[in-house]
């Protein structure tokens, strides 16, 4: 790079799901209340046993409401909490708008999740001037044109940019250059270090490592012996060293369709995992059908609480765009891959996309798929007109009550 200093932005949407659902409601009713200004949250139906909070407003946070807690528990903390259902199709639309805006400025954009991305701004000073001043202008442009706010972290590597963007929120730009690490990062609790969860933080606390600075000053070999692979990562991250783990965290290379979510709390039970995977599958399948495509490969992937990635894929006998067929294979893959370890991220990916055309099927498959295609078409039509949350699949509600595969759901529904 000829001596040019690397510069990275980490762009993170403030309370993304809550901000986006608030924006959607204001588009539908400009005179309505902005959910961002009142105690509100995005989460599951309160009548469901496993409904959780996906995102909350700043006023809701003041009541102690946290992402990942049961909706019923949040309601006890704040009886007047306004709860909104998620609209994943709309969320994807807003995410795509943000990524397109960023790609108009950054030479390289690495989408990290649905609501955050890294921008490699190295060598752009001559184009945009001082990186921090440009980050301020970019933040304001996102707020003024897309109507939601972001935090931007500015740093010499992805890790430090990620840490910087998590400083005071919302609608802020923060820097974390190497000389700022001792003053800005080391005093923070060890649990604030990227990807150090509650269990790892508790283990580190038990040996006297309370802050990020404590981990930075600790013996690296001791951390490695104590935490295994996670120990090396903790030492590197605490010292501001980006070991490439963040870049490898991106969704598997895929020319098809994918969606993933980072959970607020560890996922430890099969029912919750299947609910999340069904929501992800729904959004992926909607996009496949919108492109009049079919896919031949289905993948599921996850990351556990020890920063270990796992994935598995299957090639289908017949290409498909049917949610239930994709989800059936997602469940089969997940059950064969997951060993019960706590999960922090889950994702679904579909690839080997092709234009939809006639498919040779057995008589049973043809009858079944015709019914499922009609169901998908009806759901897509209603959601396109009234929003993703306007209709809920019966299979999703049944899945929340008892874990079953779509094939089990289909067979049971045919006899009721």
Q: Which residue among 28, 69, 108, 116 is the active-site one?
A: 116
User: Which pair of tokens denotes residue 254?
Assistant: 């895929």
180 part of the active site: no
Q: How far apart are CA 251 and CA 349, in angstroms?
A: 8
pLDDT of residue 398: 47
Chain mean pLDDT for the chain: 82
SS3 242: coil
Q: How far apart are CA 160 and CA 400, in angstroms?
A: 39
pLDDT > 70 fraction of the chain, expressed in percent and rounded: 79
Q: Are 200 and 234 in contact (CB under 8 A)?
A: yes
Q: How far apart are CA 379 and CA 89, in angstroms?
A: 12
pLDDT reading at 363 higher than 90: no
| 346-368: average pLDDT | 68
Taking the domain 186-246, which CATH number applies?
1.10.150.20
Strands 82-84 and 150-155: unpaired
pLDDT of residue 87: 83
Q: What are phi and psi for residue 154, nearest 5 degrees?
A: -120, 125
Q: How far apart are CA 61 and CA 65, in angstroms?
A: 5
Q: How far apart are CA 78 and CA 62, in angstroms?
A: 10
- Residues of the chain within CATH 3.30.1490.100 domain(s) are 257-413
Q: Are 220 and 235 in contact (CB under 8 A)?
A: yes
| From 172-176, 232-236, 352-356, 364-368, the region with the lowest mean pLDDT | 364-368
pLDDT of residue 377: 62
pLDDT of residue 400: 41
pLDDT of residue 204: 95
Q: Are 276 and 303 in contact (CB under 8 A)?
A: no
pLDDT reading at 414 higher than 50: no
Q: Are 138 and 7 in contact (CB under 8 A)?
A: no
pLDDT of residue 409: 32
pLDDT of residue 392: 53
For domain 257-413, the CATH class is: alpha beta
Q: What are phi and psi for residue 122, nearest 5 degrees?
A: -55, 130
Q: How much is the pTM? A: 0.67
- Residues of the chain within CATH 3.30.70.270 domain(s) are 1-180
Q: Are 360 and 336 in contact (CB under 8 A)?
A: no
Q: How far apart are CA 172 and CA 364, in angstroms?
A: 57
Non-local CB neighbours of 334 within 8 Å, separated by 6+ positions = 273, 274, 277, 300, 302
pLDDT digits (tens, 9 = 90+) for 26-84: 999 999 999 999 999 988 666 554 567 888 999 999 999 988 788 888 989 999 999 99
- Residues of the chain within CATH 1.10.150.20 domain(s) are 186-246
pLDDT digits (tens, 9 = 90+) for 383-404: 555 554 445 555 444 444 433 3
Strands 293-304 and 53-56: unpaired
pLDDT reading at 153 higher than 80: yes
Q: How far apart are CA 18 and CA 23, in angstroms?
A: 9
pLDDT reading at 251 higher than 90: no
**CATH domain 1-180 topology:** Alpha-Beta Plaits (3.30.70)
- From residue 307, how far is each of 167, 196, 200, 230 by CA, in Å? 22, 9, 11, 7
| From 47-61, 130-144, 232-246, the region with the lowest mean pLDDT | 47-61
pLDDT > 90 fraction of the chain, expressed in percent and rounded: 50
| Length of the chain measured in residues | 416
| 289-306: average pLDDT | 87
Peptide bond before residue 170 is cis, with ω within 30 degrees of 0: yes
Q: How far apart are CA 358 and CA 361, in angstroms?
A: 9
Mean pLDDT comparison of 154-158, 290-294, 366-370, highest-scoring range: 154-158
Euclidean distance between the first and final Cα of the chain, in Å? 67
pLDDT of residue 50: 54
pLDDT reading at 120 higher than 90: yes
């Amino acid at each position: 790079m000829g001596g040019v200093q690397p510069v990275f932005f980490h762009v993170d949407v403030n309370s993304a799901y809550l901000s986006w659902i608030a924006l959607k409601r204001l588009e539908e009713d400009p005179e309505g209340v902005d959910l961002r200004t009142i105690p509100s949250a995005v989460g599951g139906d309160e009548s469901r046993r496993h409904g959780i909070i996906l995102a909350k407003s700043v006023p809701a946070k003041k009541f102690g409401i946290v992402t990942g807690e049961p909706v019923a528990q949040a309601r006890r903390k704040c009886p007047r909490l306004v709860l909104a259902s998620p609209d994943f199709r709309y969320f994807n639309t807003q995410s795509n708008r943000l990524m397109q805006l960023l790609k108009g400025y950054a030479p390289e954009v690495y989408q990290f999740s649905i609501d955050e991305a890294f921008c490699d701004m190295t060598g752009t000073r001559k184009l945009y001037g001082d990186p921090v001043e440009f980050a301020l202008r970019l933040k304001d442009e996102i707020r003024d044109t897309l109507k939601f706010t972001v935090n931007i972290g500015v740093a010499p590597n992805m890790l430090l940019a990620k840490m910087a963007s998590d400083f005071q929120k919302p609608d802020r730009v923060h820097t974390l250059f190497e000389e700022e690490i001792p003053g800005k990062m080391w005093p923070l609790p060890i649990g604030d270090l990227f990807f150090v969860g509650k269990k790892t933080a508790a283990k580190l606390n038990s040996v006297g490592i309370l802050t990020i600075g404590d981990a930075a000053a600790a013996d690296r070999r001791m951390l490695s012996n104590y935490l295994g692979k996670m120990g090396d990562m903790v030492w590197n991250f605490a010292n501001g060293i980006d070991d490439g783990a963040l870049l490898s965290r991106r969704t598997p290379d895929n020319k098809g369709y994918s969606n993933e979510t980072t959970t607020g709390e560890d996922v430890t039970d099969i029912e919750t995992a299947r609910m999340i995977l069904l929501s992800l599958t729904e959004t992926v399948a909607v996009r496949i059908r919108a492109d009049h495509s079919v896919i031949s490969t289905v993948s599921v992937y996850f990351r556990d609480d020890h920063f270990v990635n796992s994935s598995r894929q299957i090639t289908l006998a017949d290409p498909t765009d049917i949610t239930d067929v994709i989800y059936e294979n997602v469940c089969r893959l997940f059950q064969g891959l997951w060993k019960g370890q706590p999960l922090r991220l889950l994702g679904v990916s579909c690839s080997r996309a092709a234009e939809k055309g006639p498919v040779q099927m057995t008589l049973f498959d043809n009858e079944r798929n015709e019914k499922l295609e009609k169901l998908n078409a009806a759901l897509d039509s209603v959601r396109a007109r009234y929003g993703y949350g306007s209709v809920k699949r019966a299979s999703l509600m049944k899945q929340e009550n008892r874990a079953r595969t779509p094939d089990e759901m289909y067979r049971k529904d045919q006899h009721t």
